């Protein structure tokens, strides 16, 4: 697992208080919302705030969120792309 992906998973677990869950239990390709991890709109706001705080990356609107929250892999790629910028 890449270092950044691990940090993303740790941020998700910590921010959303997914107690008892470990990073390797979160599949890279699983959708974060709906089926998959089953997150809701409140979790989405918490993630947006967590990503900004931990990685300094802003998710400006819902269109960007839709892309970034497809999966852990998509989110890691999104963060990597915007951290460089």
Partner 1 sequence: MLEIPAHLPHRYPFLLVDRVLEREPGVRVVAEKLVTMGEPYLQGHFEGHPLVPGVLLLEMLAQAGGFLEAESLHGTAIFLAGVQDARFKAPAFPGDRLRLEVTAVGAFGGLMKVRGTVSCEDRELCTARLLVKRL
Q: What is the DSSP letter of 39?
A: B
Which residues pair with residue 39 across a beta bridge?
Answer: 33
**Binding to partner 1 by residue 16, rule CB under 8 A?**
no
Tokens of residue 38, six digits: 């089953």
Using CB under 8 A, which of 14, 27, 62, 81 touches partner 1? 62
Stretch that binds partner 1, among 5-13, 24-32, 39-47, 72-80 (CB under 8 A): 39-47
Using CB under 8 A, which of 1, 6, 49, 83 touches partner 1? 49
SS (H, E, C) 21-36: CCHHHCCCCCCCECCC
Tokens of residue 10, six digits: 């740790």
**Binding to partner 1 by residue 63, rule CB under 8 A?**
no
Using CB under 8 A, which of 45, 67, 81, 83 touches partner 1? 45
């Amino acid at each position: 697992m890449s270092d950044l992906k691990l940090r993303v998973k740790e941020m998700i677990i910590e921010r959303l208080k997914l107690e008892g869950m470990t990073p390797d239990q979160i599949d890279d390709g699983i959708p974060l919302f709906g089926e998959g991890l089953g997150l809701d709109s409140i979790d989405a706001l918490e993630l947006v705030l967590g990503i900004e705080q931990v990685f300094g990356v802003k998710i400006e609107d819902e269109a960007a969120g839709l892309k970034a929250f497809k999966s852990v892999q998509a989110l890691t790629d999104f963060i990597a792309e915007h951290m460089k910028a």
